Structure 1
């Protein structure tokens, strides 16, 4: 689980008021500076047992705070540099612009389907998938144009939906996509291009 120093301080200040400043510093050393618990405890003059307990509590609190909800999820997607790069490159390739939150409900369903339970996990997944998305969207656009010869609108959330399909075709199937309101021919097209790219990357 990824933490910034500001996040550790904010969560501790808001939800762990009895934790001493030296314990907060020790948690920052472990969670942000890659110290082990024993070293951080010794450096800050706290017991390693209490430090380990506080770290577990902090992680539990962050998970609760970061559970997927529409507002936080959309804010993270909207401000993601990686998604913006992919989205605007897709527009250059020929996709048409759509409302950024178009498809947000499906995105949340997809994330749950593949086992991503909070914003941190989803953003890490997005950053890992980002390098292949330009090529994927290019192939998708060209094949869609060849078959249907129609314009295709794309949103920030749809980009993330496509990322979630990548590598999860055992869970996100044509049948599942159709249940979520996708047209069958689009679902088949996306999964076909996904499969071809997976074969190329083996």
Structure 2
């Protein structure tokens, strides 16, 4: 049996490399490759793949929604989700949406090929690097109060509204945000929020 695979990856060079590796396997055929995850449901209905290799940008709701849609309309298709960095919250969301496999994007290509075969055979798979990342997530360097400030900032509120919401002085909030940037290595508030979401702190 030839395993029909669709590759979803935004970066053209990486997408081409993944397609080449899979197409080189005698028991696999790359029936489509997609750069925009939003195009996947239509492509999957047309190509009827056994396995979809899906780049799941950490924290991206689009990829999770597409996995759910595939489960509803292409139930015979197994999703192997890829990510550079897994966190408990991202993996749980992908698992709940219906992904059956998880692999780090910096993992060995032969492991990816093996996992595609396992998924086509009806198994669930997770690579050791992803498992370790989820079982041992990065330690959060932020204090509970700093997390509270960052969580409120994630709502898009200006400094004075954050201060009012948390019953803090304007200068205290500014000091907390400065400390957050220093501890996370972020250049601005948005980057700090993304960093915290990526590592599962928010």
Q: TM-score range by the shorter chain?
A: under 0.3
Q: Greater CA radius of gyration, 1 or 2?
A: 1
TM-score (norm 1): 0.27
Greater fraction of residues in helix: 1
TM-score (norm 2): 0.27
Identify which of structures 1 and 2 has the higher relative contact order when contacts are C-alpha pairs closer than 8 Å and 6+ apart.
1
